Structure 1
C-alpha cells in the first residue's frame, strides 16, 4: 500500500465483553471515522465459567461479524482486519473458535498477545494527543477491557513500559459482583482484591496524566454526563465523579440504571466493576482524574495497517518487544528501576506475607464459631475467608497451580458454608425485630418462619462444625504457604 494513499479499512476487535468495528479512511496524515458498530456478546462470561467459548457465544459472534462485514462492504473497505484478546487467549477451544469464524465469514482473526494489545491500544488512544502542538511529556494509557487491562507508560509519545494485567470489568463482575445491585460484602471483597493486586505491582510512580479507553470507561463517562448534567464535551472523570457513579450503581438494579440513563442493561451491570477498577487505580497511584478516550485498539489497528501495510502485525510485535527490552523495569518517575526478576521477587515475597496474615486472621475465629457464643464470629470469619480468597486471586499468577487449586477450593468451601450460616442468622434477626408488628395472623406467620429458619440453622451448624473441625490449622497453614515459592527460592538462594 503506497505510504501516502488514503485507504478505507475495517478494523474489528473481538474482546472479552464486546465486539466492535470501526470503518475508517486513513493515511499517515489523517484519520476519518466513517462508521462504527458494536455488540455486547460477553464471550468472557462462558470462558470464566467453563474455560471454553460456548456454542451460543460462537454463533452469536459469527452473526455479529457478518453484520460488521456488511458495514465494511457498504463503505467499500479495501481490507478487513480482526484481532481477538484476553478471553479468546484463555479459551481452551480457541483454535476451533477461530477456525469456525474463518469458515463462516472468511475473516482471519489474529489472537494477539497482551504486549501487542497494549501497543495497538497506545497507537489509538494517543492519536489525538499526538496532534497537539505540545503533547504532554509523560502519559499513561490504560485499556480496561472485559478480561484484561493493558497499561502503557510513555515519554515523549514513545512507549517506555507496558504490561497486560489479567483483570477486567467482566472478569471482576463475574468473580465478585454477581448480585444486582452488588452487596456491600461483595464490594468489600472486590476492593480487597484490587488493593492487594495493584499494590503488589510495585510501580514506584505513575505518569501525571492517564488516558483510559474501553467500553466501561466510556459508559461511565456517559453515565456521569446524563446523571449529573456534566458538559457534553467533557472527556474527564474525576475521583468524585466515580464516587457518585458508584452511589447510583450500588443503589439501583442494572435494569433501572439502564432505563434511567439510556444504557445497555448488560453494560449497566458490568460498569459497576469498571467503576471499582478505576477508583482503585486513582487511589493506588494518587491520581485525581482520568481522561477518557473514545479511540482505542480498533483505531490503533487501523493506524498500524495504514503505517505498515500487510506487515502490521509483525511490526507491532517488533515494537512491543523493543519497548519490553528497553524497559525491563517498573517505572519510577522518569527513572527506570527494578528489573523484571526483582519485580516478581518482591511480588512473591509480599504475597507470602499477605497469605500468612489473611490465613491467620481467618483461623483466629474458628474456635469462636465452633463455640457459637458470639453470633458475629460467623460474620467475621466469613469476611476473613473472603479476604483470603481475594488475596489468593491477586497472587494466583505466581502460585504453584496444583497447590493453589487445592487450597482455594478449601477456602471457598469454608466461605460458602459460613455464608449460608450468616445469611440465615441475619434473616432470623430481622424477623425477630419485626415480631409484634402487624395483624395476629402476620405475627403468627412470622413466628412460624422464625422457627423454621432456626431449625434449619441448627441443622446447618452441623455442616459448619464438620468443615471447621476437619480443618487442621497447622496443615492448612503449610498448604497455604506452599502455594508460593519459599523466600529463599524467590531470591535465588534455593
Structure 2
C-alpha cells in the first residue's frame, strides 16, 4: 500500500448516458488509493433517446462539470487525465461536434469507447478487489448497468472468456417504457415483457458462481436497501427478495419521496425503478438468489488498464475486447439457449401476433369491455417484442409491422380509455346528489355515442385485417438465416 501512496495521481472521467463521474487515484499494479470520487447526474441519454442528439443545454452542462473536474485534477497535481464516453455519445448524431466543443472549452480529449472496451474496463474496475479475496468463487460474471447500455462479462481465473454489450440501460428503459412517476403497473408489465424477450434470445451462461453488478443504479439500489430494509452499511450483497422488496417500494413512491427517504439524487431515483427491473430480469435469467454490488467500475478500470498497459492501454483493450467478443456466439457452459437470437425473435413475434388475434372476435362482438383491454395489452406486448429485436429485423418489414401494431394499439387505447371513463362516471353517478346525476347522465350518454362510433371504426379496421398476411410480414421481419446475437 505504501508504494501505491507514492505513485503519481491520475484522473479518470466517465461521460455516461446518465452521469458524469470523476475518479482521482494513485495506482500501482492492482491497487488503487482513491483521493477523489465525484458524480453528477446529467441524463445525456434522455436527449439522445428523444431527439437523436445532444442538446446545446446538455452540452454546456457537461462542459461546466468537466471544467470543475479539471480544476480538481489540477488541485491534486495529477499526472494525466483520461476521459471516456459511452453509449449516449456513441449514438448521438452530433457526437463529433459535442467532442470538439469539450476539447475547445476544457482542453481535454475524449475517447469514445465501444461496448466491448466498456465491458473490459468495467471488469477491471469491478473485480480488482474481488480477486484479492481468498477463495473467491469462480467463474464470475460482471454486469455494468449503465444508463444507455448494459455490459456482461464472463471470466474464469481472472481472465475474460466472453462478453457482450446490449443497448438497454436504466435510462433507456425508463424513457421508453417506464416514464411515469412512479411507473404504472401497465408500464412495468411492458418493460418486463421487453426484457424477457431480450433475455430469452441472449446466449448467457446459467448460474455463475457469482454476479457482481456495478453502475449508478446498482449503487443507488444498494443504498436504498440498506436504509429501507435495515441491512447495515457494511452489506454489499442483495438477495433476490431484497431487490423485489425495494422494487415494491419503488412502485408506490415518487422519485421525490425516494430521494427524501433514502438520500438518493432525485434524477437517479427517477430511473431507479427501471434499473431494479433490469437487475431482476438478469437475476431471473441467470437463476441467481443473490448479487454483489460493487462501487467500482469504468473509471477504476481506466486507471488500472493504464497501470498495466501504459500508453497503449486503449489499443490493448480493443484487441482483448474483440477477441473475447468473438466468442459471444459460442458455448460457454451448460444450460445454454438452444435458439439463436433471431430464432427466438421469430417465435416470440409469431406467438405475440397469434395471442393478439385471439381477441379479435370478442372485440368485434362488443359484448365484453375487457376484450378490448386484453387485445390492447397483447398489441402493446407485441410492440415490446418488436423493440427487443429491432436491431436484427429487416427494416422495411419491421417498419410496416411496427406501424400497424402501433395504429391498432392506439385505436384500442381510445376505446379502452372511453370504457374506463364510462365505468368511473357510472360509479360516481350511483353516489351523486340528484342535481349532479343529471349532468353525469348527460356526459355518460355522450361518451356512449362516441364509443359506439369508435366501435364502428374499430370493427371496420379489424374486418379488413388479413391475419395470415400479418404473420407472413412478421416472418419477413426476421429472415430464416438471421444473424446471431450475443
Length-normalised TM-score, structure 1: 0.92
Instruction: Pick which of 201-210 and 300-309 moved more.
Output: 201-210
Aligned to 1:412: 406
State the Cα distance separating 1:459 from its structure 2 match: 4.3
Conservation of the 8 A alpha-carbon contact between 1:84 and 1:111: yes
Aligned to 2:215: 214
Counterparts of 1:243 and 1:7, CA distance in 2? 43
Instruction: Pick which of 64-73 and 106-115 moved more.
Output: 64-73
Aligned to 1:228: 229
Conservation of the 8 A alpha-carbon contact between 2:190 and 2:381: yes
Cα gap change, 1:452/1:48 in structure 2, threshold over 3 Å: closer, same or farther? same
Instruction: Pick which of 298-307 and 361-370 moved more.
Output: 361-370
Q: 1:395 aligns with which of 389, 409, 424?
A: 389
Q: Which runs of 4+ in 1 moved over 6 A?
A: none
Counterparts of 2:205 and 2:235, CA distance in 1? 30
Residue 380 of structure 1 pairs with residue 369 of structure 2: no
Cα gap change, 1:491/1:215 in structure 2, threshold over 3 Å: closer, same or farther? closer
Aligned to 2:111: 110
Counterparts of 1:29 and 1:286, CA distance in 2? 31
Aligned to 1:86: 87
State the Cα distance separating 1:48 from its structure 2 match: 1.1
State the Cα distance separating 1:328 from its structure 2 match: 5.4
Post-superposition Cα deviations, 1:276-307, rounded to whole Å, max 9, x if no partner, equal: 11111111211001100000011101111222
Post-superposition Cα deviations, 1:427-464, rounded to whole Å, max 9, x if no partner, equal: 21122123221433444444344334334434443553
Counterparts of 2:205 and 2:81, CA distance in 1? 41
Cα gap change, 1:12/1:204 in structure 2, threshold over 3 Å: closer, same or farther? closer
Aligned to 1:430: 424
Counterparts of 1:381 and 1:250, CA distance in 2? 25
Counterparts of 2:470 and 2:459, CA distance in 1? 16
Residue 69 of structure 1 pairs with residue 108 of structure 2: no
State the Cα distance separating 1:6 from its structure 2 match: 1.1
SS at match of 2:17: coil
Conservation of the 8 A alpha-carbon contact between 2:25 and 2:32: yes
State the Cα distance separating 1:365 from its structure 2 match: 1.8
State the Cα distance separating 1:363 from its structure 2 match: 2.1
Conservation of the 8 A alpha-carbon contact between 1:136 and 1:156: no
Aligned to 1:258: 259
Counterparts of 1:366 and 1:326, CA distance in 2? 44
Post-superposition Cα deviations, 1:211-249, rounded to whole Å, max 9, x if no partner, equal: 000000110111111112111100111111111111111
Aligned to 1:47: 48
SS at match of 1:159: strand
Conservation of the 8 A alpha-carbon contact between 1:140 and 1:154: yes
Residue 362 of structure 1 pairs with residue 356 of structure 2: yes
State the Cα distance separating 1:68 from its structure 2 match: 1.3
Q: How does 1:327-346 map to 2 (within 5 A)?
A: 329-333=330-334, 346=340
Conservation of the 8 A alpha-carbon contact between 2:10 and 2:26: yes
Q: How does 1:133-172 map to 2 (within 5 A)?
A: 133-172=134-173
Cα gap change, 1:386/1:325 in structure 2, threshold over 3 Å: closer, same or farther? closer
Instruction: Pick which of 407-416 and 217-226 moved more.
Output: 407-416
State the Cα distance separating 1:485 from its structure 2 match: 0.4
* CA RMSD, Structure 1 to Structure 2 (Å): 2.2
Aligned to 2:475: 481
Instruction: Pick which of 28-37 and 12-21 moved more.
Output: 28-37
Residue 301 of structure 1 pairs with residue 284 of structure 2: no
Instruction: Pick which of 475-484 and 201-210 moved more.
Output: 201-210
Instruction: Pick which of 317-326 and 426-435 moved more.
Output: 317-326
Conservation of the 8 A alpha-carbon contact between 2:208 and 2:286: no
Cα gap change, 1:491/1:70 in structure 2, threshold over 3 Å: closer, same or farther? closer
Cα gap change, 1:466/1:100 in structure 2, threshold over 3 Å: closer, same or farther? farther
Structure 2: stretches of 5+ with no match in the other structure? none
State the Cα distance separating 1:16 from its structure 2 match: 0.9
Residue 285 of structure 1 pairs with residue 316 of structure 2: no
Conservation of the 8 A alpha-carbon contact between 2:119 and 2:153: yes
State the Cα distance separating 1:79 from its structure 2 match: 0.9
Length-normalised TM-score, structure 2: 0.93
State the Cα distance separating 1:476 from its structure 2 match: 2.0
Q: 1:351 aligns with which of 345, 349, 357?
A: 345
Aligned to 1:472: 466
Conservation of the 8 A alpha-carbon contact between 1:52 and 1:91: yes
Counterparts of 2:122 and 2:51, CA distance in 1? 28
SS at match of 1:207: coil
Aligned to 2:36: 35
Counterparts of 1:13 and 1:441, CA distance in 2? 63
Structure 1: stretches of 5+ with no match in the other structure? none
Residue 192 of structure 1 pairs with residue 190 of structure 2: no
